[in-house]
């Protein structure tokens, strides 16, 4: 049974914004400055370069998304370009690694930051008492109230931009650092391309997630027009916010202090003691909004694989509940796997941040394959209807592919065990692949 087209341009656009603007923008400023060896110019260039790569990626992916407006996003595109097996492996990566990991991270941090906002101890039990209900609530909303899930995404996205805009505006107007791009003598490192590439890896975590909006391509009204617009509009606004906010933060605190105190320190300086409450309130809303967006997209991946006939128990997981018009059984599977990931830090004491670092390098390798695949698809299916075509072809797809592989290689060089773990987890899907 085919899912109905029920989401418009506004929901698709806010989904891109809502998924990408998560907790990263609030807490990546300090880690990126540290990766840039306290050189603010390097850090800002990394943010700009990351934004450019993401826009190139969005422009490239938008052509494929408009030409293949099917539920499943990257899974459907890679299947069409590279065949059933690679499409299945892409979907398997989403089901067992990428989506559950990100859902668990956002659920955990929703609880963690809520404890700080509420002024209570951030103990495992307190975090769990908030994160687990938040985790369950977004699945209940998106499985049993699909339209409400879309509306929630729109409302939360609008709310989460408020603290960002406040920091950006007040930072530019009231920031007292006259030399935001200066390198502290004896502290910061001189500019180098290598430092920019090093800082680029953590930057891409803050930009990641935009492709997930394509996973509901088959459920967006007028997808050939609305999906490319959603990707481009959403990413353009995000780049402006990210770069602008980081410049505003540097106008508030010099790089060495910002690396120590982070966004919260800048907020306290700008707004006083209430600044901490404002920022952490924004972070809680941001984390929950991103969690909702991930749940909205993630529940569909097992369904997509099952419809293609490649997933275990394909008849079971390809069912769409007629009452709620959602793939309930597919959604419950993602709920269970994500729940296991969420329990890991509470049961083992392991850092939840590992779940954020592991998927990024492998994901950009898959993105790069898609960008190369656009060129392949142009030759393989020249008569395919393409309502939108990437400008400056083939320059933009090639640059996007180079950027994607560069990120994957850089991440692998810095943390080879994460890439190895990702590959091992993905390869576990081979025994489950079923040819049609």
Could you report the per-residue pLDDT of 244-255, keeping only the tens digit for each? 999 999 998 888
| Any domain includes 152 | yes
| Any domain includes 396 | yes
| Any domain includes 401 | yes
| Any domain includes 425 | yes
d(CA 292, CA 377): 33
Rg (CA), the chain: 21
Q: What is the residue range of 79's domain?
A: 9-432
Using an 8 Å Cβ cutoff, are 229 and 13 in contact? yes
Q: What is the mean pLDDT of residues 147-151?
A: 65
| Any domain includes 4 | no
435 or 267, greater pLDDT: 267
Using an 8 Å Cβ cutoff, are 313 and 432 in contact? no
Using an 8 Å Cβ cutoff, are 8 and 226 in contact? yes
Tokens of 192: 């180098």
Q: What is the pLDDT of residues 376-395, one digit of tens each?
A: 999 999 999 888 788 889 99
Q: What is the pLDDT of residue 165?
A: 81
363: domain CATH number is 1.20.1740.10
pTM for this entry: 0.81
Using an 8 Å Cβ cutoff, are 290 and 21 in contact? yes
d(CA 68, CA 283): 35
Q: Where are the alpha helices (DSSP H) in 95-222?
A: 99-118, 124-144, 146-174, 193-207
| Any domain includes 341 | yes
Where is average pLDDT lowest: 90-99, 266-275, 327-336?
Answer: 266-275
**C-alpha distances in Å from residue 49, one per residue of 129, 132, 351:** 39, 36, 29
How many structural domains comprise the chain?
1
| Any domain includes 1 | no
| Any domain includes 2 | no
């Amino acid at each position: 049974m085919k899912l109905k087209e029920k989401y418009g341009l506004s929901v698709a656009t806010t989904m891109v914004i809502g998924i990408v603007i998560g907790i990263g923008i609030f807490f990546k400023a300090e880690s990126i400055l540290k990766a840039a060896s306290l050189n603010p110019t390097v850090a800002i260039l990394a943010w700009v370069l990351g934004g450019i790569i993401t826009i190139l990626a969005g422009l490239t992916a938008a052509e494929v998304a408009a030409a293949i407006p099917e539920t499943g996003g990257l899974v459907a595109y890679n299947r069409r370009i590279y065949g059933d097996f690679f499409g299945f492996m892409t979907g398997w990566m989403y089901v067992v690694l990428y989506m559950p990991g990100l859902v668990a991270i956002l659920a955990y941090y929703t609880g963690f930051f809520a404890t700080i906002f509420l002024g209570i101890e951030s103990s495992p039990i307190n975090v769990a008492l908030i994160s687990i209900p938040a985790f369950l609530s977004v699945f209940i909303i998106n499985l049993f109230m699909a339209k409400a899930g879309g509306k929630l995404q729109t409302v939360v996205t609008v709310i989460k931009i408020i603290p960002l805009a406040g920091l950006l505006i007040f930072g530019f107007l009231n920031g007292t650092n006259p030399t935001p791009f200066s390198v502290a003598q004896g502290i910061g490192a001189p500019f180098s391309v290598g430092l920019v590439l090093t800082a680029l890896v953590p930057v891409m975590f803050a930009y990641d997630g935009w492709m997930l909006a394509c996973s509901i391509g088959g459920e967006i009204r007028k997808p050939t027009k609305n999906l490319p617009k959603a990707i481009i509009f959403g990413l353009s606004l995000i780049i402006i916010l990210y770069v602008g906010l980081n410049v505003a933060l540097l106008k508030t605190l010099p790089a060495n202090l910002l690396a120590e105190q982070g966004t919260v320190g800048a907020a306290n300086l700008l707004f006083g003691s209430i600044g901490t409450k404002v920022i952490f309130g924004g972070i809680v809303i941001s984390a929950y909004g991103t969690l909702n967006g991930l749940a909205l997209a993630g529940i569909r991946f097992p369904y997509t694989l099952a419809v293609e006939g490649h997933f275990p128990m394909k008849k079971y997981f390809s069912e769409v509940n007629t009452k709620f018009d959602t793939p309930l059984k597919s959604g419950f599977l993602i709920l269970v796997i994500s729940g296991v990931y969420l329990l890991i830090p509470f049961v083992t004491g392991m850092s939840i941040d590992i779940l954020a670092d592991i998927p990024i390098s492998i994901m950009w390798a898959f993105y790069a394959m898609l960008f190369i695949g656009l060129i392949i698809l142009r030759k393989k299916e020249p008569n395919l209807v393409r309502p939108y075509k990437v400008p400056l072809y083939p320059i933009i797809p090639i640059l996007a592919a180079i950027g994607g592989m560069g990120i994957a290689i850089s991440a692998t060089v810095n943390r080879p065990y994460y890439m190895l773990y990702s590959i091992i987890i993905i390869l576990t899907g081979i025994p489950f692949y079923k040819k049609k």
